[in-house]
């Protein structure tokens, strides 16, 4: 058995700058309960107050990655066995589908397809944005690449003043499919 066979499966959690990202710790807890080791890769904007970065680093035991490493630096995370992007923003979904890799998060997502690992995405996109034809085209393209999407979630507050549960575990269920 090789060292690779022996190591625990490693999950990349890509976090975008959506309000719901404040609860991303729930996804990390659920993933760890399912025996995943977790490394978080956040968009630069997501690092800007969208979630508690110190708490996430404590939870995963690893620094959050957001910037590209410098040439010559070793890779801080092992290769992924699966990739989750949650929450996935309108912006990141469209850029990912277009093959744009101008952030580490996008580069990671673009590369995951070529690595052939399972990819799950939980969009958090307002209905008014989701109506944009480019977004619909992006979903079709990414689905065609094998990306497994959770049901649409707009993040909008209901009449009772509450926000529906995001259902973070959906991402892990999609990987198990």
Ligand X SMILES: Cc1cc2nc3c(=O)[nH]c(=O)nc-3n(C[C@H](O)[C@H](O)[C@H](O)COP(=O)(O)O)c2cc1C
Note the residues at the interface with ligand X (CB under 6 A): 16-19, 43, 45-46, 89-92, 124-125, 155
Residue 13 CB, nearest approach to ligand X (Å): 13
CA–CA distance, 63 with 45 (Å, rounded to integer): 17
> What are the structure tokens assigned to 7, written together?
């190591």
Residue 125 CB, nearest approach to ligand X (Å): 5
CA–CA distance from 41 to each of 1, 13, 15, 17, 137 (Å)?
30, 6, 6, 12, 25
Q: Please say which residue, 11 or 122, places its beta carbon nearer to ligand X.
A: 122
Instruction: Confirm if 106 and 96 have CB atoms less than 8 A apart.
Output: yes
Residue 151 DSSP one-character state: P
Q: Please say which residue, 109 or 174, places its beta carbon nearer to ligand X.
A: 109
Residue 9 CB, nearest approach to ligand X (Å): 26
Give the contacts of 141 (CB within 8 A, at least 6 positions apart).
97
Residue 11 CB, nearest approach to ligand X (Å): 19
Q: Please say which residue, 37 or 96, places its beta carbon nearer to ligand X.
A: 96
Instruction: Confirm if 89 and 16 have CB atoms less than 8 A apart.
Output: yes
Q: Please say which residue, 32 or 98, places its beta carbon nearer to ligand X.
A: 98
CA–CA distance, 116 with 82 (Å, rounded to integer): 9
Residue 151 CB, nearest approach to ligand X (Å): 15
Q: Which phi-psi region, left, alpha or beta, contains residue 8 (left: φ > 0; alpha: ψ -120 to 50)?
A: beta
Q: Please say which residue, 46 or 117, places its beta carbon nearer to ligand X.
A: 46
């Amino acid at each position: 058995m090789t060292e690779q066979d022996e190591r625990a499966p490693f999950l990349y959690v890509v976090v975008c700058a959506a309000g719901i990202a404040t609860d991303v710790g729930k996804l990390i807890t659920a993933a760890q309960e399912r025996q995943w080791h977790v490394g978080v890769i956040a968009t630069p904007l997501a690092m800007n107050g969208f979630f508690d970065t110190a708490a996430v680093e404590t939870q995963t035991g690893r620094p959050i990655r957001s910037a590209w490493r410098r040439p010559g630096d070793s890779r801080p995370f092992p290769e992924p066995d699966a990739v989750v992007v949650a929450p996935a923003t309108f912006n990141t979904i469209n850029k990912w589908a277009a093959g744009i890799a101008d952030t580490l998060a996008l580069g990671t997502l673009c590369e995951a397809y070529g690595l052939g690992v399972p990819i799950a995405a939980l969009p958090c996109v307002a209905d008014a944005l989701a109506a944009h034809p480019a977004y619909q085209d992006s979903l079709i393209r990414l689905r065609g690449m094998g990306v497994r999407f959770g049901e649409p979630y707009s993040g909008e507050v209901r009449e009772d003043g509450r926000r529906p549960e995001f259902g973070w575990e959906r991402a892990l269920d999609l990987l198990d499919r």
